[in-house]
Amino acid sequence: MARKKRSAEPMGVESLLRVFRKSRKPLGFGELLKLLGLPNRQRKELDEALDILVRDGRLIRMRDAYGLADNMQIITGELEVQRSGVGFVLPEDSRRKDVFVSSKDLGDARHGDKVAVALLPKRGGRNPEGRVVRVLERRTEIYAVRILDVRGKGYWLAQATDPKLGFHLLLTAEDVDIAPQKNDIVLARIGERLEEHLWAGTMVAMLGTETDLAVQEQLVKFNHHVPTVFPETVLEQAAALPERPAEEDFGGRRDLRDLPLVTIDGATAKDFDDAVCVRETSKGFTLWVAIADVAHYVPPFTPLDEEARERGNSYYFPKSVEPMFPERLSNGLCSLNPSEPRLAMAAEMEFSRDGKMTGASFHAIVMQSHARLTYEQVHQALEERNPQVLRDLEPLLPMLEQAESLARILKKRRHGRGSLDFDLPDPEILLDVRGEAVDIQSRTRHFSHQIIEEFMIAANEAVAEFLTKKDVPMLYRIHDTPDPEKLRGLFEVLGRTELAVRLPKKGEPAEPEMLQTLLAAARDTEMEFLVNRLLLRSQMQAKYSPDNIGHFGLASKCYAHFTSPIRRYADLELHRALKNALSGRGPKVSHKQLKTLGDALSIRERRAMAAEREILKRVTVMFLMDRVGEEFSGVVSSLTDFGFWVELADVMADGMVRLSSLSDDYYTFFPERHELIGRRTGRTFRLGQHVQVVLEEVSLSRLEITLVLAPEKEEEKKARKSRKGKKEKRD
């Protein structure tokens, strides 16, 4: 008798999971049909069951198979989506590499979400690859969005203002008084998904018109989760503080009110947290650096402290500042205003004539600033010798001249040990009386800026070395050695130039002194831009850690942040460690606690930097809106296989020239040489090359500046053809 054909088992998610556990390897769709004994008519049923398990995070969808999540390595972290649509998960465990996630593997995760990502089989890239299996925590459900169109009564079509969030929303209004027009910015709560890139949403607040700088600042703060309001408990604690130090606070402190300490800051600065004084001695110099004693007024675990820790640092924008502490402290009690007694922590450092630190001591002091000086004032006095300024600063002039002498000696010594100084422009947004941007220029820098920088570096090193010798747990400011692959790429480019003799021999480490020599050799040559940019791109990001590996960029073996406790929480933590070391009292913080704190503060710092970069980009785009069609000089700042970026000389902006706009030839990208070369003409675009471009378009929604090459002049064509002819002759 013929055997009866076995009927397929009713298929469910549990039977699916049993098959995966039994197989002990990832399974493809065809394999599952076979193992489950399912006919083709049940393909859809299997597909639906697999989707359920993937959505629940119990299975991981791979390229051509499914894997059991329990058997795969799961990493949790924050998702950072790039403009291209791909993402990287920044692991909570900082020892791990960032995990690459392709756009098809992001699922419903959005930029900034905390996610669980499953590692996929190793690919060829530098980072491990993964797939988001679960959104653990939404960064936010409310987004700043731009109104694209009014869609009938009570409906608006909008788009997220963050270019990394590639979705649209169909909005209704929560409040009948909210009636935005096209290009207005509103806050909206996201609802259910309507289509792949379309979500429902509800408007909850109106910010204003897109081209208002104040509105742009608000949306950047919102998109980057920059805190803008202090909790009531924090304001109450700040309000309870005195307006000025009381006499009883002076007890046990060294009285330095007669020492001519001065603050030197920008003309628009409102808070002054560091003051300096220099005196020449028979053996060299004595330098005092006094820093506002914020720790005296902010005990640990109080509302002020908890909020400052959460903020991590202050956030700076063209029209506003979101401070780490309320103004009662930052602009009042902890601001070293002239002629006002203030509590401070002081580093007193002795230097030899050649700038070597021969001794250092640290004190809790009471001080009184003898003057609020600006960088421009000091520049006019010391370098321009302006008669009027010299008269105004006459009582302080000898001290300032000694400060200049010491700063020059310290700078020379720092360079001698290999400290890197990149000659890069610092953009400054100039506002008119209405608070609108009227220009973007390179910030003027004088040696007066350098005086303060050298003294702050010296104080930071002195405190770090003191606490290290005392074996006090602390947060160091560390900067790891450069990315070896990026350095190797730079050396390969320079190996074909006259700078080849400056490169390390094969197998030799790239020490700071060698890189500094390379920077110096490239200065004022056509290679300067290329060397500066590629060397800068090879640098690791500085961060906070309880483990001291030194600071590569400063060529410092022991470095920490001490000089800005009013705007950086790491400095406040260091002040507490210093005060405990000096008094012999106070609890020691564990290594684990410091590691957690350091990682969190490093993340906050990156958030501040990203927000400040974005507002600069937005202001730049708005500033260029009425200059479309103008011609600019620029320099090629980066290249890719679809075009190159040009940094404009006049307005501190950079835009893209797409290869699709070049109709004279087909171009090939040579990444190892940082060059684009025309196949027929031999026309070359390389990093650092000067070009003339025309501003074709700016887009505030995409944060893009589009450029095209200006028509090539006849003499330029002739010169290029001549170079090509000579090259062909040589070949």
Q: Could you give all domains of the chain from N- to C-terminal order, each with its CATH number? A: 13-68 (1.10.10), 73-137 (2.40.50.140), 142-210 (2.40.50.700), 239-407+448-478+545-613 (no CATH), 484-539 (no CATH), 628-730 (2.40.50.140)
d(CA 470, CA 477): 18
Which pTM does this prediction carry?
0.85
Token pair recorded at residue 178:
């909210």
Q: Within the chain, which residues score under 50 in pLDDT? A: 1-10
Amino acid at 716: E
β-strand partners of 669:
676
> What tokens appear for 684 in the block?
């070359």
- What is the model's pLDDT at position 11? 53
CA Rg value for the chain = 30
Question: How many Å is the maximal CA-CA distance in the chain?
Answer: 120
Q: What is the pLDDT of residue 9?
A: 40
**Is the CB of residue 54 less than 8 Å from the CB of residue 61?**
yes
Strand partners, 543: 478
Bridge partners (DSSP) of residue 477 are 544
Distance, in Å, from the CA atom of 542 to the CA atom of 525, rounded to the nearest integer, reads 29
**Do residues 564 and 269 touch, judged by C-beta distance below 8 A?**
no
Q: What are phi and psi of 146, to 5 degrees?
A: -105, 130
**639 CB neighbour count, 10 Å cutoff:** 22
Q: In which element (H, E) is residue 489 found?
A: helix 484-494
Q: Please give the sequence-ordered ranges of beta strands (E in DSSP) within 588-700, or none if there are none.
A: 631-640, 643-648, 654-658, 667-670, 675-678, 684-686, 690-699
User: Are the C-beta atoms of residues 704 and 698 closer than 8 Å to each other?
Assistant: yes
Query: Which tokens is 427 given?
Result: 């953009």
From residue 381, alpha-carbon distances to 245, 248, 267, 397 in Å are 33, 39, 15, 8
- Give Cα 214 distance to the centre of its chain: 22
Can you give the pLDDT at residue 496?
Answer: 83
Q: How many CB atoms lie within 10 A of CB 600?
A: 15
Phi, psi dihedrals of residue 156, rounded to the nearest 5°: -135, 140
Contact in structure between 276 and 452 (CB atoms under 8 Å):
yes
DSSP assignment of 277-327 equals EEEE-SSEEEEEEEEE-HHHH--TTSHHHHHHHHH-B-EE-SS-EE-SS-H
- The two beta strands, 427-431 and 437-442, are antiparallel
Q: With CA atoms as reference, report the closest residue to 457 among 468, 449, 469, 446.
A: 449
CB 84 within 8 A of CB 73: no
CA distances from 661 to 285, 624, 627, 643, 666 (A): 60, 20, 19, 9, 11
Mapping DSSP to helix (H, G, I), strand (E, B) and coil, where does residue 432 land?
coil
609 contacts: CB under 8 Å, gap ≥ 6:
none
Angle of CA points 434, 438, 440, to nearest 5°: 135
- Closest by alpha carbon to 366, among 238, 242, 258, 240? 258
CB 284 within 8 A of CB 353: yes
pLDDT score recorded for residue 727: 55
Q: In whole angstroms, what is the distance from residue 554 CA to residue 561 CA?
A: 13
3-state secondary structure 399-411: HHHHHHHHHHHHH
Q: Are 191 and 199 in contact (CB under 8 A)?
A: yes
